[in-house]
Amino acid sequence: MNELIDRLANEAGLTPEQAQKAIQTIAGFVKEKFPMLGGAVDQIFASGSKED
DSSP-derived letter for residue 45 is T
What tens digit of pLDDT does each residue of 1-52 get?
Answer: 889 999 999 999 999 999 999 999 999 999 999 999 888 988 887 765 444 4
What span, in angstroms and rounded, lies between the C-alpha atoms of 35 and 27?
A: 11
Task: Collapse the DSSP code of 52 into the 3-class scheme (helix H, G, I; strand E, B; otherwise coil) and give the result.
Answer: coil
Q: Please name the amino acid found at residue 4.
A: L
Considering the entire predicted model, what is its pTM? 0.74
| Pair 19, 5: CB distance under 8 Å | yes
Hey, where are the domains in the chain?
A: 2-44
Q: Please name the amino acid found at residue 14.
A: L
What span, in angstroms and rounded, lies between the C-alpha atoms of 14 and 5?
A: 9
